Chains A and B, each alone.
Chain A
Amino acid sequence: MDFKELDPILHSQLRLAVMSLLISVKEAEFTFLKEKTNATAGNLSVQINKLKDAGYIDIIKQFNNNYPQTICKINDAGIAAFENYVKALKSYMSL
C-alpha cells in the first residue's frame, strides 16, 4: 500500500482544530476559534500565523465598532491541503 506523508503543518493539534472549524464555516472570528478550541490567545495567534504563512488561510484584520477584529477564512489551497490530509489519514487507518 502507498502511504502518503502527513502534512506537518496540519498534523498539529491546534492547527488541525482550527482548520477543521474553518472548513465548516465561510469565515470565523478569532474569538470564535479561541472559544471552540479552548486555546490561549497567544498560542492560537502563533498557530494561525503559521497556517497563513503556509498559504492555507487568509486573515482579515478590521475594526468593528472601534474594536479590532481578526477574521480567518480557509482558502482553496487550505481546502486542498485539508482534503489531502484526510485522505492520507484514511490510508493509514485502512491498515
Chain B
Amino acid sequence: MEAEEKFMTETESLQLITSMINKAKNNFSERGLLYLIWGWVILFCCIIDFSGIYFFKYEPIHFVWLLLYVILIFQIFYIRKQKKVRTTKTYTGEINAFVWITFTICLVLVIFICNIFKQYQLIDPLLLMLYGMPTFLSGIIIKFKPLVIGGICCWALAVVSPFINVEFQVLLLGCAVIAAWIIPGYLLKQRFKNEN
C-alpha cells in the first residue's frame, strides 16, 4: 500500500473499506482436521464395539472407547500449536470454541448421569442429540451448509434411535459421524485449499 498522503475520494474510501473487510473475512482458517480425526476415530470405535459385541459377545471390547482420550490429548496439543501460529483472533472463532466446550461438558454430564442411573440404553440416543448441537451451530457460525445438514442428520438419527434395537444403536452413531464430521471435514479441507 502506498504512503498515507495519497488523496482519496469518498468512493475510493468506501471501496477500500469493503475490500479490506472482504480480505479479513476470506482469511478462512478452518481446515477440517479435527472433524476428520474425531469422525474417523469414533467411526472406528463404533465398528469395533458393534462387531465385538454382536459377533463375539466380548464385553471388554467397550474399552476401545478409551482411544478417545488419546485423541483428546492430541487435540489439546494441536490447539496449543495452532494458537502459536495464528495471526488473528476472530469473534466467530471464539464463539465456535465455546460451542464445542459446551458440547464437551454436556457430553461428559450425559454419560455420567446415564451411568449413575444405569440407563445405558439412553446413552446413544442422547449422544446423537448432542452431536447435532455443536455441528449445526458451527455450520451456522462459519456459514458452512454441510455442517448444518450434518447436525440435522444427527437429530434425525436421534429420533430414529429409540425404535432401533439397543445393540444396533452404536451403528447409528457411526452414521452420524459420517454425516456430521467426516463428509463436512473433507469438504472443509477442500474449501481451505481453495481459499488459501
Contact = CB atoms under 8 A, between A and B. Distances in A.
Interface string B78-91: 00000010011111
Contact of A92 (B10, B16, B23, B91): B10
A89 interface: yes
Interface in A18-75: 20-21, 23-29, 31-32, 35-39, 43, 47, 64-65
| Range, interface on chain A | 20 to 34
B4 A43 contact: yes
B89 A20 contact: no
**In this complex, which of B11, B84, B87, B94 has the most chain A Cβ atoms within 10 angstroms of its Cβ?**
B87
Given A12-B8, A25-B91, 7 more contacts: A20-B17, A21-B23, A29-B87, A47-B4, A89-B13, A93-B10, A93-B11
A47 to B, nearest CB: 6
Contact of A13 (B8, B10, B27): B8
B3 interface: yes
Contact of B88 (A20, A25, A65): A25
A39 B6 CA distance: 14
A35 B20 CA distance: 11
B14 interface: yes
Top 4 A-B residue pairs of the complex, sorted by shortest distance between their CB atoms: A20-B20, A24-B24, A32-B87, A29-B87
A17 B24 contact: no
**In this complex, which of B2, B3, B84, B91 has the most chain A Cβ atoms within 10 angstroms of its Cβ?**
B3
Contact of B17 (A6, A14, A86): A86
Interface in B86-129: 87-91, 93-94
Contact of B4 (A14, A25, A38, A86): A14
B8 A27 contact: no
A86 to B, nearest CB: 7
Contact of A24 (B1, B2, B21, B93): B21
A88 B88 CA distance: 29
B91 A26 contact: yes
B25 interface: yes
B142 to A, nearest CB: 14
A86 B89 CA distance: 24
Contact of A65 (B4, B20, B24, B84): B84
Contact of B20 (A17, A29, A31): A17
B10 A89 contact: yes
**In this complex, which of A13, A14, A15, A29 has the most chain B Cβ atoms within 10 angstroms of its Cβ?**
A13
Nearest to A29: B87
Contacts of B11: 93
A15 B4 contact: yes
